[in-house]
Structure 1
Amino acid sequence: MSDDDSKSQPIIVIKKKGGHGGHHGGAWKVAYADFVTALMAFFLVMWLVNQSMEVREAVSGYFQDPVGFMEKLKKGGSSVMQGGSSTIKMFKYDQDALKEKLLQQKKILSDVGANLKEAIEEMPDIGNMKNFVEFEVTTEGLKIQLIDASTASDSAIFFDKGSSHLKPMASLILTA
């Protein structure tokens, strides 16, 4: 080999780094769990300080005899609060009355939707905008949809494109 060949070859130095040190353990998880438990107990105490004497006595009764406390609830005995009625009886509803009330509410919402639709249709100035307002009775209540679907020949119906300001005709519909 000549001197030129040895000068042109790069010298590669490989340095090995030390190991990571292995698994560090999870003792922090135990400390964190203790902290969260203490924090929960602190907030429970703060909540209790702000409660009435009846609530304090009920919580105290639970911590003094948790099994007996739960047995009273399972049997439907008197409620935790003094002078209360059975905990199970409190949550019984008349299903027929609830269904009847639900039907009445749906009818009322349907009537409101029909009245609004009629008021919009009687407005002479809005033209075909009334076709872009839909009313639907859902489980949440009366759903009113303003459909701002512009066609190629029209501009947007309720809003100008890229704007949050209502057009004057849209304001008329909303005040109906």
Structure 2
Amino acid sequence: MKQGERAIIIRRRRPAAAGHHGGAWKIALADFMTALMALFLVLWIISTATPQELKGLAEYFRTPLSVALAGGDRSASDSSAIPGGGADPAHAEGERMRVDLRQQSRPSDTRNLFRHLRQRIEAAIAADPALRDLHEQMRFDMTQEGLRIQLVDTERRPMFRLGRDQVAPYMRDLLRTLAPLLNELPNQISISGHTDSLRYQRGDQGYSNWELSADRANASRRELVAGGLDGEKLLRVAGMGDRVPMQDANPGDPVNRRISLVVLTAEAAARILAQSQGRAYTPAAAQPQAAVQAQAKAKAE
């Protein structure tokens, strides 16, 4: 370079490297795969579940979240700014009574109580080696009146002597095992006896299936009371003869010879009382029975 000449500086920009994308997509993919695994796991569990477990799962999702978390709907339905329902604002007994009455009237709560009672009965039967085989002769189902527990006959193990109301020893043990469990709920109970279509020689003119079914229902009532059942819980004892056979059963099938115990809802009990007194049933008629049930539930807690 000659003296006096300016140096020419050429600046060349280096091409910028592309930025790193980071690992966010990996986290998203991992979350997606975890969700898929959880989904397939749930589907597999459902496919292997028993009908009873599926019913319990469905009932769980039908229960409102506030009820499941708090055990009631106080936060959602309480219109009083002052806690409590009695003279003392700090005393919550009155308000608790109102909440219990609302809970008692909800069908889902009643089904939960009945489901728990059924589980207690099945557990007690399974725990007793002498009664374990009788589980096959028990039928549980929900009706409009309440939880129905049917004790059915078989040719191999009849519950009563043929044509008589004498209770078999294992039937006596079963009824006396049920008695204290039925006392756990304040609900009233209905007992009905049923026979098959085999008639007596004189038909309905003398001692017939009507009398036999009623006598067997009363014999069962006596065994329940002897086992500790509160007699005040009994609302109705009836003999139905052979007029109400089991569904899809031949009229002469031994399964029709059965005792049906119904743990009544408050509404069903009020309806039976109204009909027996010759008056129309109104929902308000069920309130006294619901109050009795709520008081008993509060004492149990």
Greater C-alpha Rg: 1
Where is the strand percentage greater, Structure 1 or Structure 2?
2
For normalisation by structure 2, the TM-score amounts to: 0.18
Highest RCO, 1 vs 2 (Cα 8 Å, sep ≥ 6):
2
